[in-house]
Structure 1
Amino acid sequence: MTDQQIPNPPDHARPERATDEQVAAAGKLSEALETVERARGRLYDFHQLIGHADLMLDEAVQKLREAGRDDIAEQVEKELVGRNVLHGRWMFQIVEDFDDHYWSTFRSCEATVRGELCGGRRHVFESEMKEARRTHGHPRHEARP
């Protein structure tokens, strides 16, 4: 079988009933989810950075005490160590709320739309883009592994 005869893998092939508009809409929603996934990663980065900074405050307080500035050490300890990032919340609570009430809903909605429009197949739009952009018969431009 030549490279030109190899169809898109079944898990990326467009279902017969899917229109160009439906594939594009599902693709755009999937792209939006990918952006939310990137934002989620940054939220987890923020979570860990804030946690690390909070632990570093212990060392700063100790150094202030060693420098003879118990007054400032007590102020930093009282005002910053263990402080909520948002009203009533540490970062783990913010991450959990994001995951439970936004991210999980977004993922579910994207899966439902993809299921309805593309038979549950992922990256149909991108698979068709790959097929249109690759150089058929050229090394490293194969349709699939």
Structure 2
Amino acid sequence: MSRLTDLRFRAATSVQRRVNPLLRRLPLQTVLETTGRVSGLPRQTPVGGRRVGDAFWLVSEFGERSQYVRNIKADPRVRVRIRGRWHEGTAHLMPKDDPVARLRRLPRLNSTAVRVIGTGLLTVRVDLAD
């Protein structure tokens, strides 16, 4: 990993640590809830993505370095809050999916930020149970 990549990752995660607690409280903010792989506690992360049928799609800007991706690898059972309503589901990491092409079909503002900040894009699909 290059020094620039590591710097971008550290800068982005530093900002996210301060902003995410505020975003999680916004009732219409989409939130992904995973189970902490070490603590076993619910971990909520604001995300951008889109529901398509019975699936919710998103792109992780730091791929397998993202804490929520690491939690999904340990336990793929998740919940997603979409428009204020929680949905249970099973998350799948999609390394063969083209994340840049996927971002073109997701909400523009978030997709732009993910492309600019991201260093290891990874598509995630959540199959919703309800």
TM-score when normalising by structure 1: 0.24
TM-score (norm 2): 0.26
Structure richer in helix, relative to its length: 1
**Higher Rg of the two aligned structures:** 1
